[in-house]
Amino acid sequence: MPAIEVEPQFETLLSGYEKDRSNLIPILQDVQEHEGYLSEDAIVEVADHLELSPNDVFGVASFYTLFKFVPPGRCNIKVCQGTACHVRGSGLIMEELSKKLGIRSGETTEDREFSLESVACYGSCALAPVVIVDEKVHSRMTSKSACELVEESE
Ligand code: FES
């Protein structure tokens, strides 16, 4: 297997953590924050740093829903599934967006234009149901207005 070239930024990130397996989750969170997801290369590098096997690292990471293993799309769409949004129809919004984009929650379109995810309460319950597009909160959404947001982002 050819050696993986580690980006200097990534090396700096890892060097900030002691080689202690209790640092695994914080490192993975840090990597995801910087890279947007956990790539295979990143998993191998983290495993190497902590002297674990990549399978162990992947096993732990895949246990937590917060970690993503596919790169995010150019446009990231989050649908709040907290209680207030749920009772006001966010399930239907997710269903319609899913149909429109041809992907399920947690996936990215093949052309990497859009990614879709369910999130827990976003802290904007008074505006429910909310859809978050690239960190901008859109309030009182319907499946129609959510689909229009996608069209505007194309
Ligand atoms: S439940 Fe959706 S913002 Fe709180």
Ligand 1 pocket test target in 78, 79, 80 with most atoms within 8 Å of CB: 80
For the beta carbon of residue 130, count every other beta carbon within 10 angstroms. Answer: 27
The tally of domains found in the chain comes to: 2
| 46 belongs to a structural domain | yes
- In the predicted structure, residue 5 carries a pLDDT above the cut 80: no
Tokens of 6: 């580690």
| Residues facing 133 on adjacent strands | 77, 136
| 96 belongs to a structural domain | yes
Q: Ligand 1 centroid to 26 CA: how many Å?
A: 26
Tens of pLDDT, residue by residue over 26-42, are 999 999 998 889 999 99
Tens of pLDDT, residue by residue over 40-99, are 999 999 999 999 999 999 999 999 888 988 888 999 999 999 999 999 999 999 999 999
- In the predicted structure, residue 2 carries a pLDDT above the cut 50: no
| 123 belongs to a structural domain | yes
Contact between residue 23 and residue 52 where contact means Cβ atoms under 8 Å apart: no
Ligand 1 is surrounded, with C-beta below 6 A, by 80, 82-85, 121-125, 128, 130
CATH of the domain at 134: 3.40.30.10
- In the predicted structure, residue 123 carries a pLDDT above the cut 50: yes
Q: Ligand 1 centroid to 79 CA: how many Å?
A: 9
| 133 belongs to a structural domain | yes
| 1 belongs to a structural domain | no
Q: Ligand 1 centroid to 100 CA: how many Å?
A: 23
On whether both 127 and 95 belong to a single domain, the answer is yes
